[in-house]
Structure 1
């Protein structure tokens, strides 16, 4: 049996992490977001905002981590594996910033494919900024569109998850898959 790889993506404060935690608590296998780990690692090295200071290095670290997660997913015995963001998130964020990047990013996104993509729209009522999330709500809205278009440009059919309770959103996703 082949494991279905399902990506949950969206801009800052769209509810991704809460949704992934809920799925995990319900017994589903998940791969957690790694960007905060990359950010915190850079801060330990004295780089306050690696994504802004060196977007290519930050993106290379993210792509490397997401590729590792993808390969780890090959050993998953569960019927469904949820990812908190996928590889195309990396290029979508660089496109959002207008950062030029090597073809290796596109090659990875085209070579390693997920089965379903769900995108969560920005949700102003739950929006918060913190030490690792420095985008404004208006920027979160723009990022949402870059993410949606980015996945579509890699040939994915992107399904938008309506705003609602975590349970309503999970039920929506599970019905679609």
Structure 2
């Protein structure tokens, strides 16, 4: 689907800031499913958290991402996703669960270009919802680069620059 654009990449690489700027420019944006699951689980005292029960967390993130995908398909115009079904399925695959990953080859397709924020240690921070170390974020980034390419997407690495230049770069690439 050419109107469904993914913004993914390294945790702490500036995705949320970029997504916020794109939203201010009038684009429909979809917040990261994983962050929403973590927030909901923390508020409810749940255990489907990446540091407690990774599989349950990923299954909830996939369910939410699937809802996001369907809602965006029904909207007119472009939707820009902060992460996607692919991110959660890629992580679930590391737990030897290939079910969702294989479905992504044909059933849930996005724009052929996927924008990835590269590792950027100078801006990386942890918080209550992002508790993993930078080294783990780097491993995630490498896995996502591999899996997006494996699924037939054209990976476009965003430059490490100010937000305005990143927006211009992304919009020019599209």
8 A Cα contact 2:90 2:101, kept in partner: no
Shift in alpha-carbon separation, 1:26–1:117, aligned structure 2, 3 A: same
**Runs of 4+ with >4 A deviation:** none
Runs of at least 5 residues in structure 2 that lack an aligned partner in the other structure: none
Mapped contact 1:34–1:62 kept (Cα < 8 A): yes
Structure 1, gaps ≥5 residues long? none
Check 1:106–1:49 CA distance in 2 against 1; reply closer, same or farther (3 A cut).
Answer: closer
Choose from 82, 105, 126 the match for 2:123: 126
In the alignment, which residue of structure 1 is the partner of 2:83? 85
How far apart, CA to CA, are the structure 2 residues paired with 1:137 and 1:35?
A: 17
Task: Give the TM-score of the pair, scaled to structure 2.
Answer: 0.91
Q: Is contact 1:12–1:135 with CA below 8 Å preserved after alignment?
A: no
- Length-normalised TM-score, structure 1: 0.89
> Is 2:131 the counterpart of 1:143?
no
Aligned partner of 2:172 in structure 1 is 175
1:57 alignment partner in structure 2: 56
Residue deviations 1:98-143 (CA, integer Å, cap 9, x gap):
412151x124422110012111101111111111111111221121
RMSD: 1.7
Cα 1:142–1:3 change in 2 (3 A) is closer
**Equivalent residues of 2:62, 2:89 under 8 A apart:** no
Paired residue total: 172
The CA deviation at 1:49 is 6.5
* Higher share in helix: 1
Q: Tell me by how many angstroms 1:3 deviates.
A: 5.6
